[in-house]
C-alpha cells in the first residue's frame, strides 16, 4: 500500500510540475505578445513624429515670396525688371497703368505641360521683345498641375518653386531660367530631374547664387505653389472653353486669350486691341 501511495504522490507531483510549466509557458507567451504590441505602438509613434517633422519642413513650407501679386503672378515691368511687393500688386490691380499704361500679359504655366512648352517656344521671344521695348508688362504665374507625369519626382511643383526662388533672389535671370526649366521637360517625364539636375539647370541659366540653390533644395515656397495652384483651379475667370482651368492660360489685361498658342502674330493682335 505504501508503495502505491508513493507512486500516486509522485504522479501527482509530476502533474503539478507539468501544470506549472504550462502556466509559465502561457504567461511567457502573453508577455511576448504584450511586448511586441508595445514595440509596434512605439514604432507608430516614431513614424508619426517623423511625419509631423517632415510636414513642417522643406516641401511643405508656407513661406510667401515678396515678389508676387495677390493672385500669384511674378510681374516683370516694361524693361524686364521684376516688380516686388506693393509694386507688383499695384501693377496687377491697375492692369498695366502703373507700368506706363501698357497692356499686361498674364501667363499661367506648368513646366511639365507640353502645351506650355509649345507656347513658350513660339511666344517667349515676342514677349521678351515687348518687355524690352516697353510695350507690355508680363505676369508669370507658375502652377503645378502635372506632378503625376514625372515618375514620382513632382517636377511641376519643384520647378514652380525654383522659378519663384529665382524671382525672389536673382530676378534678373527669371526669363532665362524659365526657358531652362522648360528644357528639362523631357528628362523630367522620365523621372531624371533630381535636385542636382534642377539646381544645375537653374545655375546654368544664370541664377547661380547660394540663396537660390538653398531655396530650391529646401523647397521654400512649395506650400505657396500649392495654394496658388488651388486658387487658379477654383477661379471661374480662368476657366477655358472646357469649363476648367488648364495650362497654358493667357490673359491680356484680365481678358482670356483663346487664340493660337503657336502664333505670336495672333497673340500680338489680341494685345494691340488693349492698347
Cell of 16: 503539478
Q: What is the DSSP secondary structure assignment for residue 112, as one 8-state letter?
A: T
Check residues 7 and 247 and name the one with the higher pLDDT: 247
Q: Are 238 and 108 in contact (CB under 8 A)?
A: yes
202, 193 Cβ separation under 8 angstroms: no
- Beta strands 104-109 and 137-142 are parallel
Confidence band of 62 (pLDDT split at 50, 70, 90): low
- Give the position of cell 521637360: 185
| pLDDT for position 274 | 86
Q: How far is CA 32 from CA 18, 20, 29, in A?
A: 21, 18, 5
pLDDT(147) > 70: yes
The pLDDT confidence band at residue 103, using thresholds 50, 70 and 90, is very high
Per-residue pLDDT for 52 more than 50?
no
pLDDT at 12: 62
- pLDDT tens column, 182-229: 999 999 999 999 999 999 999 999 999 999 999 999 999 999 999 999
pLDDT value at position 169?
97
**Nine-digit cell string for 269:** 493682335
pLDDT at 98 over 50: no
pLDDT of residue 34: 52
- Please name which of 56, 264, 82, 55 lies closest in space to residue 177, comparing C-alpha atoms: 82
CA 4 and chain centroid, separation: 87
Query: When comparing pLDDT for 234 and 90, which is higher?
Result: 234
Distance, CA of 128 to CA of 118 (rounded, Å): 16
pLDDT (tens digit, 9 = 90+) per residue, 7-29? Answer: 555 566 566 656 666 666 666 67
pLDDT bin (cut points 50, 70, 90) of residue 101 is confident
For residues 149 and 226, what is the distance between their CA atoms, to the nearest angstrom?
17
Residue 102 has which C-alpha cell? Answer: 501698357
CA distances from 24 to 21, 27, 169 (A): 5, 5, 69
Give the confidence band of 104 by pLDDT, cuts at 50, 70, 90: very high
**Crossing angle of helices 174-182/195-204, nearest 10°?**
130
| pLDDT, mean over the chain | 84
Cell of 24: 509559465
Question: What pLDDT does residue 176 have?
Answer: 97
Q: In the prediction, which pLDDT does 275 show?
A: 80
**For the chain, what percent of residues have pLDDT higher than 90?**
67
Of 8-22, 44-58, 80-94, the one with minimum mean pLDDT is 44-58
pLDDT above 60 for 271 = yes
Residues 32-39 have a mean pLDDT of: 58
- Cα–Cα distance measured from residue 198 to residue 184, given in angstroms and rounded to the nearest whole number: 8
25 φψ region: left (φ > 0), alpha (ψ -120 to 50), beta (else): alpha
* Region 36-54 average pLDDT: 46
Q: What is the pLDDT of residue 11?
A: 60
CA 171, 172, 178, 183 dihedral sign is negative
For residue 71, how many other CB atoms are within 10 A of its CB?
18
Amino acid at each position: 500500500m505504501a508503495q502505491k501511495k508513493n507512486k500516486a504522490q509522485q504522479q501527482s507531483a509530476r502533474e503539478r510540475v507539468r501544470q506549472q510549466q504550462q502556466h509559465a509557458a502561457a504567461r511567457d507567451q502573453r508577455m511576448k505578445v504584450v511586448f511586441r504590441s508595445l514595440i509596434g505602438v512605439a514604432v507608430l509613434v516614431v513614424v508619426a513624429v517623423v511625419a509631423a517633422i517632415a510636414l513642417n519642413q522643406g516641401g511643405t513650407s508656407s513661406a510667401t515670396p515678396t515678389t508676387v501679386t495677390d493672385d500669384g503672378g511674378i510681374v516683370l515691368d516694361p524693361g524686364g525688371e521684376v516688380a516686388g511687393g506693393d509694386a507688383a500688386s499695384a501693377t496687377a490691380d491697375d492692369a498695366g497703368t502703373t507700368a506706363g499704361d501698357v497692356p499686361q500679359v498674364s501667363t499661367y504655366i506648368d513646366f511639365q505641360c507640353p502645351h506650355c512648352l509649345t507656347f513658350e517656344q513660339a511666344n517667349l521671344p515676342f514677349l521678351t521683345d515687348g518687355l524690352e521695348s516697353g510695350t507690355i508688362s508680363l505676369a508669370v504665374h507658375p502652377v503645378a498641375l502635372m506632378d503625376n507625369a514625372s515618375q514620382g519626382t513632382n517636377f511641376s511643383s519643384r520647378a514652380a518653386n525654383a522659378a519663384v526662388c529665382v524671382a525672389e533672389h536673382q530676378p534678373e535671370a527669371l526669363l532665362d531660367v524659365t526657358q531652362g526649366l522648360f528644357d528639362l521637360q523631357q528628362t523630367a517625364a522620365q523621372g531624371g530631374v533630381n535636385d542636382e539636375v534642377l539646381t544645375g539647370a537653374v545655375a546654368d541659366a544664370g541664377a547661380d547664387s547660394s540663396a537660390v540653390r538653398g531655396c530650391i533644395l529646401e523647397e521654400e515656397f512649395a506650400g505657396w505653389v500649392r495654394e496658388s495652384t488651388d486658387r487658379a483651379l477654383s477661379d471661374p475667370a480662368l476657366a477655358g472653353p472646357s469649363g476648367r482651368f488648364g495650362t497654358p492660360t493667357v490673359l491680356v489685361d484680365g481678358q482670356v486669350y483663346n487664340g493660337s498658342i503657336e502664333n505670336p502674330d495672333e497673340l500680338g493682335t489680341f494685345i494691340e486691341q488693349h492698347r
